Amino acid sequence: MSDSDETDEEPSDDIDINSRKEDEQEVENAAASSLEEEISKNFKYATLCKYLDHMQKIHFKNKLGKERVLKALVTKWTANATKYTNDTVSFYPVLRIMANSLDRRKFRMKSKRIISKVCQVLLLPPKTKKELLQIDSKSADQSIMKLAEEVSMRNSATAKRELSLFDVNDSLCKITEREISDAELEKLLKACTTMREVYWLLQVLVRKIERSLKVTSSSLVSWIHPNGATLYQSGVSLREICDLAAEGKMTNNSSMLFRRFEPMLLSRIRHGTGDVYDKLVHFCGQEFYVELKYDGEHFLLHRGTNCEMRYYSRVQNDFTNTISPVLDHRINPYFSPSLESCILDTELLLWDIIDKKFVGHNTLASDGRIYDVKALRSDGAVEPSVAVFDILFLNGKSLMDVPLSERIALLQSGNVLQKQDETKIFVSKFTVVKTREEFASLYEEAVMNGQEGVVAKKMNSIYKTGVRQMANGWFKVKPFHLGDETLDLAVVGVDLGRNNKISSYCLATLRDGKFFMVGKVGTGLDDTTRSFLKSRLTRGHGFFKSDKVPNWIHNDYTTSDLPSHFVNQNNIQVVEIRAKGLRNGRLYAPTLRTYRDDKYVKDIDQYQAFLDFDKNLRLDSIKNAQSVTNTKRHTTNVHVLEQYQTKKARIEEINQDLKEKQICILRGTSSVTTQDLQAIIDSFGGIHVANPGPKTLFVVTGEPKHVKSKSIIKSNKYNVVSADWLIACKHMGKVIPITKKETVHVVDDSLYSLFGDDKVSENSIMLSNSTAYTVASVSALLDKIKVPKRKKPLAAEEALRKQLFMDDKFNRFYGQTFYLHENLTKIQKIYAQILLRMHGADLSTNKSSAVTHIVVPDRKKAYDNLLKKMATVDICWLENTLDLL
């Protein structure tokens, strides 16, 4: 894949951190010169900590305030340096500590490891270590703070001198060397005189200092040099950026060769986007390139004089030491003899020597093993191969500002590769697409052949390092982006993280009457829905951890499938997920779409539907890739109706006490679901709806404080009854009168006499064949009364209406602000405006923070630039909410 969606890379021990001369200097030396060393030795570490404390206290939104603190620190550093030189000195010794994530030093520590390490080197009591780890299980920041207190408390009597900035940098450089790391760590910690000095040192070691300062590393670099962030993206080191700032230079003119930088990235065609071809034409032009999207790992290949190779990953890690031994000898003979140097944008692939085909990333090879192109062995079933799709540097000259068409021509000229072999190294095939049919044909061919998808590129695009923007004209088109296929699966277990928060859900489908685990998912759903889902998963029982897998779990599983905790079988819930497909018999990169509290567990997708998911996703994406307009689908309502009828047929009828009576079931309780309450209504012959309307007798809710319940109560249109009343009816085997104890909100007292005599019925006579009018039904009747046309209603009428309805006539959307998406047609906008204004909504002309809902053509599809806090709705949703369908 020419632009991976994800990366498995973490800073690991086998990464060659001394592969660049610049890196060697940065890692091994605390100062580049004797002058820099002298200045650093005379700059107190305690002074730096005071500025860090000041910056931390400033609100994260006050970027200007934080910048002022940094500028003040630069002034302090410069003033200190003037004692030793009249020249401007580099700010690098300070910035490498503050912009810690950009520093080349690798400490490979997280909060748990630093706790264990510090307790070990300082001989802290086991009880202290246990307490710190317990705190860390809830909050890493709190554990670091507590650890700093423990260390400083023991240091108060032992510290002999103040630490200098040079002392800190020198020890940090040595800590990266394993054989002396313990000694240096102990020396450094014991030299700290205050808790804050220890705290900031620990934040550096766990690489959390920018997060503690509530500022990004790119902001820090940009405050030192105007082009700092851009320069770093293009491969200029942190030291070089500081040197440029000191010299007053805006650009770096050194060679790109063997410099680490981020490759240019691909934009996504959003999920469900209709008329894909027209969108590509809009950004890429009438004619554009299309190539296969390879399923490998994205690398920049640098080749210098004497056939020297370097392999830099997408996140700028150097894997030369592990890749060169298995790849250099395979591809060197294919380069042109006249080639002096080059930088190629490539995809490293795995060629299966038995099956004679490429093996996808993290996919089983013919021998049943999964291989990593970054750590191959010579005795495996796969060999590395290189797909080249761009050239950025040739014989000492940068080609980044050269149009893509010219760069491709250079690749195909034979001046870079004199020959090609798909099992060794080859140039990706570029096809010029001129029509919709050509694009659809290429996409279909790629998808049906099992490829990841295709890549579309603007022919005259230039190369921009580390940038992912639609305006660049580089797109990836994959089945996941275009297909609408989803699965309804059961949550059978969870992985619990810090503070017992759910880090991932274990998903399963039904196979042979048991739950077959198909993968884990951790992304998707808002915090409110996650909390509600957790309450349903744990109600009455909580999660349980068992050494033995429950007998209701299918025995075809691996250890990686198992969750840390299982859900009680009675609490299993249903969620709807999207995924990029299937890989090795499991879901590939799934995401949660919705929580299906309206669906029974027995109705989840079966094992065969799971097996067909990848195929159906690809077929659906092909259909969407060929579509001309974004047509609205109407199959969902039919499916839901059939599903409802099937469920209703299984419900045992008690009697017909609620025959022809419509009751709105708003929310369930922690122990009784919404569908359970709906089933009770069905058992008494009644009609249940999700949203109240003119025919609704009253509303039932198990969560009066829920936002939807509060909205209904505020409208003052409907009587609201507790779910306890329905549960009591089920236990009694008949519909019983509603008492004051079971009411949540009363609009009119007729509620108490609906199902028999009670205390209120003595004062309220209601014939058995009479109609129970609600405020909403009275409002509807008044609207039918014909009155003479007047420009304005009489003041008396307005006063009466206000008294009767409390300004809440058609008040379903009162207090909500809607924004109409630009993709809506003119007719759709007019229709939506009428509905929304009629029912009390406010309309906004821009996507401001006040907007609560955004109306789109189809809420099942994704759209660009939507704020996370906005609820995405469509016309169909409005009509359903207002009971217009």
List, in order of start, the domains of the chain with CATH numbers.
Answer: 34-247 (1.10.3260.10), 267-481 (3.30.470.30), 483-624 (2.40.50.140), 644-778 (3.40.50.10190), 817-881 (3.40.50)
Q: Which residue has the higher pLDDT, 377 or 771?
A: 377
812: three-class secondary structure by DSSP: coil
CA dist., res. 459 & res. 374, Å (int): 32
Q: Residue 403: pLDDT above 50?
A: yes
pLDDT band at 131 (very low <50, low <70, confident <90, very high): very high
Q: Residue 3: pLDDT above 60?
A: no
Instruction: Give the pairing type, strands 720-722 and 696-701.
Output: parallel
Give pLDDT, residue 213.
93
Q: Residue 502: pLDDT above 70?
A: yes
CA dist., res. 605 & res. 601, Å (int): 9
Give pLDDT, residue 498.
79
Give pLDDT, residue 445.
93
The answer to whether the beta carbons of residues 658 and 735 sit under 8 Å apart is yes
CA dist., res. 757 & res. 801, Å (int): 32
* Close Cβ partners of 793 (under 8 Å, ≥ 6 residues apart): 801
- Extract the tokens encoding 883: 């009971």
- Range of 430-444, 521-535, 640-654 with top mean pLDDT: 430-444
> What order of strands is seen across the sheet that includes strand 720-722?
687-689, 662-667, 696-701, 720-722, 743-745
CA dist., res. 491 & res. 182, Å (int): 44
3-state secondary structure 96-131: HHHCHHHCCCCCCCCHHHHHHHHHHHCCCCHHHHHH
pLDDT band at 779 (very low <50, low <70, confident <90, very high): low
Give pLDDT, residue 659.
86
Q: Residue 767: pLDDT above 60?
A: no
The per-residue pLDDT for range 419-449, each reduced to its tens digit, is: 999 999 999 999 999 999 999 999 999 999 8
* Close Cβ partners of 297 (under 8 Å, ≥ 6 residues apart): 4, 7, 313, 314, 347, 348, 361, 373, 374
Q: Which helix (H) or strand (E) holds 232?
A: helix 228-233
Which percentage of the chain shows pLDDT scores above 70? 85
Q: Which residue has the higher pLDDT, 204 or 641?
A: 204
Give pLDDT, residue 816.
81
Handedness of CA 315, 317, 323, 327 (dihedral sign): positive
Give pLDDT, residue 310.
95
Q: Which residue has the higher pLDDT, 259 or 1?
A: 259
Which percentage of the chain shows pLDDT scores above 90? 42
The answer to whether the beta carbons of residues 815 and 802 sit under 8 Å apart is no
CA dist., res. 444 & res. 853, Å (int): 36
CA dist., res. 385 & res. 267, Å (int): 25
Which segment of 13-17, 491-495, 664-668, 751-755 scores lowest on mean pLDDT? 13-17
Which segment of 27-36, 403-412, 546-555 scores lowest on mean pLDDT? 27-36
Determine how many CB atoms are found less than 10 A away from the CB of residue 547: 4
What average pLDDT does the segment 373-388 reach?
A: 90
Tokens 């229709």 belong to: 831
Q: Residue 150: pLDDT above 70?
A: yes
CA dist., res. 854 & res. 852, Å (int): 7
pLDDT band at 156 (very low <50, low <70, confident <90, very high): low
The per-residue pLDDT for range 623-633, each reduced to its tens digit, is: 888 776 544 44
Q: Residue 642: pLDDT above 70?
A: no
Q: Residue 133: pLDDT above 50?
A: yes
Integer CA distances (angstroms), 141 to 61, 145, 484, 590, in order: 20, 6, 40, 30
pLDDT band at 233 (very low <50, low <70, confident <90, very high): confident
The per-residue pLDDT for range 653-662, each reduced to its tens digit, is: 778 888 888 9
Q: Residue 741: pLDDT above 90?
A: no
- Range of 116-130, 632-646, 837-851 with top mean pLDDT: 116-130
CA 709, distance to chain mean position in Å, is: 30
- Range of 222-231, 623-632, 780-789, 809-818 with top mean pLDDT: 222-231
Average pLDDT, the chain: 84
pLDDT band at 2 (very low <50, low <70, confident <90, very high): very low
- Extract the tokens encoding 496: 């619990």
- Extract the tokens encoding 355: 């099956």
Give pLDDT, residue 882.
75
Of 623, 621, 588, 779, the C-alpha closest to 692 is 779
Q: Residue 636: pLDDT above 90?
A: no
Which segment of 111-115, 574-578, 680-684, 838-842 scores lowest on mean pLDDT? 838-842
What average pLDDT does the segment 472-484 reach?
A: 88
CA dist., res. 106 & res. 80, Å (int): 29
Q: Residue 29: pLDDT above 80?
A: no
Give pLDDT, residue 394.
95
Of 655, 649, 540, the C-alpha closest to 600 is 649
Angle at CA of residue 837, ends 833 and 843, nearest 5°: 70
Bridge partners of 507? 491, 519
CA dist., res. 219 & res. 63, Å (int): 9
What average pLDDT does the segment 574-587 reach?
A: 92
pLDDT band at 707 (very low <50, low <70, confident <90, very high): confident
